Amino acid sequence: MNILHLVHRYWPSHGGAEKSFQLLSRSFAAAGHDVTVYTTNALDFRYFWDRTAGHLPPGEELVEGVRVVRHPVRYLPFHKAPDSWPARLPLDAAQGWLAHSPWLPSLIAASGRSRPSFDIVHASSLPVNAIIRAGCRIARRAGIPLIISPHVHSGERCAPGGLLGLYTAPVQLEMLRRADAVIAKTGGEAELLEAHGVAGERITVAPNGLDLDEMGGGDGERFRRRFGIPGPMVLHLAHKSVLKGSRDTVEAMKVLWRNGSDARLVLAGFTEQGFGAWVRGVDPAFRRRIVDLESPDEQLKKDALAAQDIFVLPSRADSFGYVFLESWYYEKPVIGAMAGGIPAVIDDGRDGLLVPCGHPQVLAEYIDKLLRDPALREHLGLAGRRKLDRQFDWNRIVFPQYQELYERLTTERRG
């Protein structure tokens, strides 16, 4: 099979969608298929509107048996970094629309040229519409099946609105409705898509998976020695922003610190500007107890995962929460938020705990409880690991679902 994957960023970029497409492409290539990935040269998400942010050289390369074509991100006139005009509009949604959907002339040209025929196209993810639009165009021109993984970040169940608007604009829904298959990460996302008019029979629920063979090798001791963390350690590994619950995490730790806790907080990931400014304003007495790592590499990430006592991600903006699986691999307890796809991943009270967004006091109390109760930590961590082996093992459980879907769609189309 000749497979085309389109995704807004690809390895070595970090992120849930990026990780799942890396696994998908690599596995199909290893299974003997020809896999091409069209992506952008952005390393940081901010590169889509800020040309000073991290990026890679554009061009073509072979990564783990996969042909990766990185199309250069171009900027519209007057789109000057760092004060880009979309980012200056007073509308979050407009920022999302304009800033998240980059201008990719070479991808547009590539999608219009006649190519060696692909058999199937799989595109991801919203709200980066330009990528999905290119996928739609290629599939339509070649008459081949199109799969879309939208990765809808539905936000809080009780407060739909703002965030969902980034993923459910009419033009986006139209693209989803025209796809041969739409992949939802959780049952909740599937219901949401169906409620927005995507035909139920075209939606496939396929969770993210973790390649257990590549997750090992984290050295917790090394991490603790390097950063001088003798006592309890709380890890928050995410794109650091208010939406990901980074601020709630710091606020919760401040409650603990005021009550005499000696726990350290490790914040690891790319820092969003607004959050960076806020965290600089935190009382220096508290700031000293925060270890702030900017975009850690794979090994440092594994070390941090192995070193932590509790993993905390009270995020409003996750369609799945890949990092929970990574924490479970190291048998660590996790705390997530009652928002987006997280409740479908964490079974509240059985393999992790869920907290409401925007209530740092509850988060502080749960962290405090777990720090004081090693037995509960171990119980939740082990339950998580068992769930990971049973439901989210990429090679054994998840990848075969994708193989079956690809084969079914190509066979149907040929038939």
Partner 1 sequence: MRPRVVTIILNWNGQEHLGCCLDSLLLTTYPNHHILLVDNASTDGSVQFVRDRYPGVEVVVNDGNFGFARGNNVGFRHALKSGADYVMLLNADTEVEPDWLDRLMEVMAADPNVGICGSKIMMFSQRGLISSFGHGMNLLGFAWDAFVGRIDGPRWQEVREVVSVCGAALLIRREALEAAGLFDPMYFAYYEDVDLALRVRMCGYTVKVAPGSIVYHKYSAFFERRPLTKILLSKRNYFLFVLKFFPLRKIPWVFTRIMGREWELLSENLRSGHYTYCRMRIRAILATLFRLPRIFLSRLRNRKRIPSSFWGLLEQRVDVPVNFGQELDYNPFDRPEGGRYPHRVIMGVSDGHLGMGWYNLDGEDGGRFRWIGRSAVCRLGVPEGEGLTLQVHVNCPYALVNVPRLSVFGNGRNLGSVPVLDSWQTHHFPVPRNGDTDCEVRFEVDAVFEAELTHCIMDLGIMVHEISLLDCLSPFLRRPLPADPLPAIYREGGRLPTSLTPGELRAGIRVTSHPERMYAHAEIPIEVELENLGDTVWLANPLPGGGHVALGLKLFDTEGKLVREAFPRFYLGRNLFPGQSDRVFISIPPLHCHGQFRLKIDLVDEYIAWFENRGSEPCDLPIELQ
**Interface with partner 1 (CB under 8 A):** 83, 90-93, 156-159, 161-162, 165-166, 255-256, 258-259, 277-278, 280-281, 283, 338, 348-349, 353, 356-359, 361-362, 364-366, 368-369, 372, 376, 380
Q: d(Cα 384, Cα 374) in Å, to the nearest integer?
A: 15
Closest contact distance (angstroms) between CB of 277 and partner 1 is 6
Cβ distance to partner 1 smaller for residue 280 or 414: 280
Least Cβ distance, residue 59 to partner 1 (angstroms): 35
Q: Is 98 exposed, middle or buried (0-12, 13-18, 19+ CB in 10 A)?
A: buried
Decide whether 335 or 405 has the Cβ nearer to partner 1. Answer: 335
User: CB 88 → partner 1: shortest distance, Å?
Assistant: 10
Pick between residue 180 and residue 248 the one whose CB is nearest to partner 1: 248
Q: Which residue, 209 or 360, has its beta carbon nearer to partner 1? A: 360
- Distance of alpha carbon 215 from alpha carbon 200, whole angstroms: 35
- 354's CB contacts (< 8 A; 6+ apart) are 335, 336, 337, 338, 342, 343, 346, 348
Distance CA 226, CA 222 (A): 6
Give the shortest CB-323-to-partner 1 separation in angstroms: 21
Which of residues 178 and 359 has its CB atom nearest to partner 1 in the complex? 359
For residue 10, the minimal CB distance to partner 1 (Å) is 29
DSSP β-bridge partners for residue 240: 271
Compare residues 225 and 369 and give the one whose CB is closer to partner 1. Answer: 369
Choose between 297 and 348: whose C-beta lies nearer to partner 1: 348
Contact partners, residue 19, CB within 8 Å, separation at least 6: 11, 208, 322
Sheet bearing 59-63, strands edge to edge = 59-63, 66-71, 34-40, 2-6, 120-124, 146-149, 181-184, 203-205
Min dist. Cβ of residue 111 to partner 1 (A): 29
Q: How many CA atoms lie within 13 A of 243 on its CB side?
A: 15
CB 341 within 8 A of CB 208: no
The C-alpha atoms of residue 276 and residue 46 are separated, in whole angstroms, by 14
What amino acid is encoded at 19 in this protein? K
CA distance 247 to 363: 12
Q: How far is CA 64 from the centre of its chain?
A: 21
Contacts of 407 (CB under 8 A, 6+ apart): none
Nearer to partner 1, 292 or 393 (CB): 292
Rounded to whole angstroms, how far apart are CA atoms 218 and 226? Answer: 14
Q: How far apart are CA 14 and CA 386, in angstroms?
A: 25
> Closest separation between CB of residue 342 and partner 1, Å?
12
Shortest CB 7 distance to partner 1, Å: 25
- Measured from the CB atom, the residue of 57 and 90 that comes closer to partner 1 is 90
Distance of closest approach, residue 353 Cβ to partner 1, in angstroms: 6
310-313 β-sheet, strand order: 290-294, 264-269, 233-237, 310-313, 334-337, 353-355
Taking the complex as a whole, the smallest distance from the CB of residue 226 to partner 1 amounts, in Å, to 29
Residue closer to partner 1 (CB basis): 76 or 285: 285
Here the tokens at position 206 are 């396929």
- Beta strand 146-149 with 34-40: parallel, antiparallel or unpaired? unpaired
